[in-house]
Amino acid sequence: MHESSPQIVTFGESMALFMPQEHKSIERAATLEQSFGGAESNVAIGLARLGTSVGWFGALGDDPFGKIILKTLRGEGVDVSRAQVSTEAPTGMMFREHVAGRMAVHYFRKHSAASRMLPEHLDENYIRGAKLLHVTGITAALSEDCRRTLRRAVDIAKEAGVLVSFDPNLRLKLWSIEQAREILLPLAAEADYFLPGWDELKLLYDTDDYEHIKGQLTELKAVSIIKGRGDTTVVLNNGQEESLPFYPAEQVIDTVGAGDGFCAGFLAGIMKGLSPVEAVRLASINGSLVVQMRGDWEALPEWSVVEQRMSAKAWVER
């Protein structure tokens, strides 16, 4: 590792988030709560809370939303020294609401600072000095410039022997499935850890035939972690397959952020020297704790809480 680089480096889009209280619709709400969210910044916070050295960078607007995102990430122990602040483009925004019992998200991200990231904005030594680079398909979906930036970051990591983790995070509001396949499947082929959901795999490979998809994944060099095949997570590693049940949640309040919590737990486990199967167990605990509170990243647990669950220690309430 380079002395100025954390163990894990990740980058991407982080947006201001607004949502009504008590699961109301925006149309019926008098006030909105303010927060922020983004797959990569959520993962970064999750990693920091689990005791992993992590850095996040991306582009934010020189506005109150960008400032609070940077201040919060810094306060959570995430290195944001490589993040850029643009005076020419704003921080993206998203609005979340519940409509007819289902969640709906409205994005205002076109021409945002994040969508204008360029390969020349990358600090190559920062990436080279890390142990692992974590990326998602959301960055690739934002713009052609972002696709080139993501591609260059992965190339830098591979050239330096830095491990690459890739979560496809398929977002069909941003591009078509045909476009996504063209970009995301080659990225999966470059990854050391591939973390797709089962529903994403069915779309990416255009089939629900598990044996066919498994065959495609076993041709990859990556350890593949299939999230949500039934009530299990499947680990495919060097031709070996193991299924692990979800860690039970006492209550489910908000499923947003569960995937990012899972990812943070898995990567933290890998950095702690766990095997992929052991890291999935940690990830499952992390994800189960996230769904029991509201928020994209607010519910991400500290390492002491996860460690208690892993060792089945009793929780002392009073």
Distance, CA of 223 to chain centre: 17
The answer to whether 77 and 84 have CB atoms below 8 angstroms apart is no
Place of tokens 């643009």: 86
Element (H, E) at 132: strand 132-136
Known active-site residue 167: no
- Nearest-angstrom CA–CA distance, 46 and 24: 27
- The DSSP letter of residue 310 is H
What single string gives the DSSP state of each residue in 247-300? PP-S--S--TTHHHHHHHHHHHHHHTT--HHHHHHHHHHHHHHHTTSSSSSTTP
Contacts of 287 (CB under 8 A, 6+ apart): 246, 247, 258, 259, 261, 262, 265
Catalytic residue among 79, 167, 192, 260: 260
In 3D space, the residue among 107, 77, 36, 109 whose CA is nearest the CA of residue 257 turns out to be: 36
Residues designated catalytic: 260
